[in-house]
Copies of this chain bind each other. A is one copy, B any other.
Amino acid sequence: MRSAKLQAACIQHECVAEINTNINICKHNIEIAAKKGAKLIVLQELHNSLYFCQSENPKNFDLAEEIPGPITDIYSSLAKQFNVVIVCSLFEKRAVGLYHNTAVVFDTDGSIAGLYRKMHIPDDPGYYEKYYFTPGDLGFEPIPTSIGKIGVLICWDQWFPEAARLMALAGADLLVYPTAIGWDRSDNEAEQLKQLNAWTTIQRAHAISNNLPVIVANRSGYESDTSKQTSGIKFWGSSFIAGPQGEFLAHANATDEAILSAELDLSATENIRRNWPFLRDRRIDHYFDLVRRFLN
């Protein structure tokens, strides 16, 4: 089996109201990560702005960007300048009145290698995403790049094993989750810890069940709810990179800005699949009910 080493990085930071400040944080961290040798750099979900979905406000649609457009031009230039693949996340304006939560992957030459539009859209107090984002219609297609096929999924997608599995079946070499999740400060510490552990555990499990590395980039910092309906969100950071058995390779804390990096061996997947051949044994003759809502 040929070795396929990939130096990967993911970036965790707080966001502020001023878009250019966020972009400059990303630029700065991309430069550092690239100079340390990263060939793949994953940014967190909606890294150019505050997490505006805390309330439903029509003015927030002004934050949406066309693809390609001025914002993608910036990240395209960075990918080309530093010869890296960048997974960028943005609020996509696809047409007048049609918006998505979209990841754009830039190849090392600055070209757009592909898009992924968030398929599973949450909606619960503080996360009113169904108001802003039409569910993705591109399916679960890994994005082919010069460094491998990237199975990009976004935030809420992380709770659905179906999404990770479909990326694996479509040949993904690794799974990547830009995300923005945090605590409701009205939950007690024990509940907060349970939620964080659940989030970490399920994403490590996607690595395990598919024998693929996983990279998770989450934001940190507290953002208030401008509508005053909730007490805001304390984003829980805790970004991580795990290997294909779910083992931690790098792990940020809940609060600090972080540039995580790890050397992935994409060829390890083959060895692990030889030892634990899950793909061989899936009971596809009995999975047809997975496309039903509930079995009643």
Contact = CB atoms under 8 A, between A and B. Distances in A.
A156 B162 CA distance: 18
Interface stretch (A9-17, A102-110, A220-228, A274-282): A274-282
A74 interface: no
Contacts of A282: 120, 160, 162, 293
SS of A interface (majority): helix
Specify how many copies of this chain sit in the oligomer.
2
Contacts of A208: 159, 198, 201-202, 205
A143 interface: no
A283 interface: yes
Contacts of A139: 286
Contact of A289 (B160, B169, B202, B275): B169
Interface string A266-296: 0000000001111101111011111111111
Interface string A183-207: 0000000000011011001101110
Interface of A: 119-122, 124, 135, 139-140, 156, 159-163, 165-166, 169-171, 194-195, 197-198, 201-202, 204-206, 208-209, 245-247, 275-279, 281-284, 286-296
